[in-house]
Amino acid sequence: MQTMQSRVWKFGKDIDTDLIIAARYLSTSDPKELAKHVMEDADADFVNKIKEGDIIVAGENFGCGSSREHAPIALKAAGIAAVIAPTFARIFYRNAFNMGLPIFELQDADEIKEGDVLSIDAQEGKIVNKTTNKIYIFKPIPKFMQELISSGGLINFAKNELQAEAKI
């Protein structure tokens, strides 16, 4: 997983999966369709404001609610490069990695403001706020989970593993 740098969009605490992608859109699993409605109920114009590679910074308990995989799929398909929060709901945490969406637990996430530009080094466990020059340290993502992200998610990781075994 490489270093990423982009602009921040800020949300509060307890952002549930229904706020990430409303239940009324769950009749499809098509990532492109889901991406059109990501965070719509929090900010109706969000999808028109974000750019590929942007980062969401939120309060604690991001991704609470249901166990739907649609939430990380919608975020990733909309171009969100990563989500940073002090804590994540357990099922969202696992679903995010399974779908290839990087997420980072940072206790001081509330200090980061919307519009700040962050540089994230997942291997080092370091976030540099390029706007304020503040450096944040977080527990690096375990190597296996970095491999899931680099592969684009669990399914791609498994396919790559099977192809590697077939070549042996």
Run of H or E including 96: helix 90-99
Look at residue 161 and tell me whether its pLDDT is greater than 80: no
Domain count, the chain: 1
* pLDDT digits 0-9 by tens, 114-147: 999 999 998 889 999 999 999 999 988 888 888 8
Structure pTM? 0.90
How far is residue 112's CA from residue 129's CA, in Å, rounded to a whole number?
8
- Confidence (pLDDT) at 57: 98
**Mean pLDDT along residues 82-99:** 95
Structure tokens at 10: 């800020």
**Mean pLDDT along residues 16-30:** 94
pLDDT confidence of 108, banded at 50, 70, 90?
very high
Phi/psi for 93 (5° steps) reads: -55, -50
Domain that includes residue 151, residue range:
4-167
DSSP code string of 9-46: EE--S--BHHHHS-GGGTT---HHHHHTTTTTTT-TTH
Residue 28 sits in a domain whose CATH number is: 3.20.19.10
Phi/psi for 27 (5° steps) reads: -75, -5
